[in-house]
Amino acid sequence: MAAENGVASSDHESHTTQVQKIDQIATRLLSSPPILEMENLHKASSNGVSFNIPGWYADVALSWPGEAHLYEMEKVLFHGKSEYHDLFVFQSSSHGKIVILNGDMQLTEKDEFVYQEMLTHLPLCSIPNPKKVLLIGGGDGGILREISRHYSVDRIDICELDKMVIDAYKRFFPDIAIGYNDPRVNVYIGNGVEFLKNVPQATYDVIILDAFHCIGPVEEEVGEKSFLESVAGALRPGGVLGCPAESLWNAEFSLSNSIAKCREAFKGSVNYAWCTTPAYASGMIGFMLCSTEGPPVDFKHPVNPLNPENYGVAKGPPRFYNSEVHTAAFSLPSFAKKMFGSKILSTYE
């Protein structure tokens, strides 16, 4: 669907070109807050709908045509543009502060902790004693906050493209950006793809991708084969990747294809988990977990349980994650098992 809109074309264009394209849309989307225009973004049959509702923000995702989620805005807090991003922050009446990045919902204060905790602890709790962790993207600092709960970790590298993102979060979301307070954190401002090219083989125990799009039906994102291979190369044998993956409710998403692609690049275990996230389309998001060849990893059964008493730099215990929801997150509905196919099985399915 997305490809038809001419926004996410299937040729392998550079990340910069993508960002520029998205930027153009974002400019249209955000040209006149608090009244946001969305003309012609929907498929043709909607005849160019425009959601002009004063005081409300309409969240529309190109890969979810025919629906929109509206939020009442109490106050526009920030609207900035950098070389890479259009960042829009507003106070909603129902979900706390909300961040829109390049026209896409990034997070709401109401439920950000679910995504941050699951994307962090699913991989980190799946291997014993993780020490070196790389985060690509995640400039908000929420994943850093969650990594901080792991005392075994001695080095946390983050490669974020856009300093504006970091600065905005530090200003408007101190409880998220608090992750930067961890003294183990090393910040690199730059392109994650380039950063990975310079990482020596087998450097990290865990890599978390919190950038680009989800693993899913659109090709030119984290799912690109050469990129996944560079991630696998940067991981030690039996090291793990955690990244967001498309919702099971996205009709274009083939879980089977995505798992096959990851399996080819990583050669260890591959598994898919999901959880409730009201802010994202369909109310859920998925996660892809991959391990490289080496000591086997059983993602479904965490071997490194999180001690909820270890806050790290966070101000309290995890609000969503616990070992029980970790395992439950891998339970697939029957339609997803069918989509998953019988041919492709994770090492520990």
- 324 sits near a copy of itself (criterion: CB under 8 A): yes
Alpha-carbon span 126 to 325, nearest angstrom: 13
Marked catalytic residue, from 59, 140, 157, 210: 210
- 145 sits near a copy of itself (criterion: CB under 8 A): no
Which member of 51, 88, 115, 272 binds a copy of itself (CB under 8 A)?
A: 51
- 48 sits near a copy of itself (criterion: CB under 8 A): no
CB of 169 to a copy of itself, least distance (A): 22
Closer by beta carbon to a copy of itself, 249 or else 348: 249
Alpha-carbon span 151 to 91, nearest angstrom: 34
- 56 sits near a copy of itself (criterion: CB under 8 A): yes
Residue 146 contacts by C-beta under 8 Å, 6 or more apart in sequence? 116, 117, 119, 120, 121, 179, 314, 318
Which member of 3, 7, 284, 344 binds a copy of itself (CB under 8 A)?
A: 284
Short-list 160, 117, 167, 110, CA closest to 139:
160
CB of 182 to a copy of itself, least distance (A): 21
* Residue 210 annotated among the catalytic residues of the structure: yes
Report residue 52 as tokens.
């002009």
- 305 sits near a copy of itself (criterion: CB under 8 A): no
Give the relative orientation of helices 225-234 and 255-266 as an angle to the nearest 10 degrees.
50
> Which stretch, 59-67, 155-163, 170-178, 201-209, contacts a copy of itself (CB under 8 A)?
59-67
- 37 sits near a copy of itself (criterion: CB under 8 A): no
Is there a cis peptide before residue 34, judged by omega within 30 degrees of 0? yes
HSE-CB for 34 with a 13 A CA cutoff: 16
Which member of 78, 249, 311, 348 binds a copy of itself (CB under 8 A)?
A: 249
141: alpha, beta or left, given left = phi > 0 and alpha = psi -120 to 50? Answer: left
Which member of 198, 201, 226, 334 binds a copy of itself (CB under 8 A)?
A: 334
Which member of 181, 230, 322, 347 binds a copy of itself (CB under 8 A)?
A: 322
State which amino acid sits at residue 55. Answer: G
- Block residue for tokens 């409880």: 175
- 94 sits near a copy of itself (criterion: CB under 8 A): yes
Helices (H), 198-320: 225-234, 255-266
Alpha-carbon span 306 to 233, nearest angstrom: 27
The neighbouring-strand residues paired with 132 are: 155
Which member of 47, 198, 226, 342 binds a copy of itself (CB under 8 A)?
A: 47
- Block residue for tokens 């919702």: 247
- 331 sits near a copy of itself (criterion: CB under 8 A): yes
- What does 15-35 look like in DSSP terms, one character per residue? HHHHHHHHHHHHHHHTSSTTS
> Which stretch, 108-116, 152-160, 228-236, 289-297, contacts a copy of itself (CB under 8 A)?
108-116
- 325 sits near a copy of itself (criterion: CB under 8 A): yes
Residues lying near a copy of itself in the complex (CB under 8 A): 42-43, 45-47, 49, 51, 53, 55-56, 58, 64-72, 74, 92-95, 110-111, 114, 248-249, 274, 276-278, 282-284, 308, 317-322, 324-325, 327-329, 331-335, 337
List active site positions.
Answer: 210
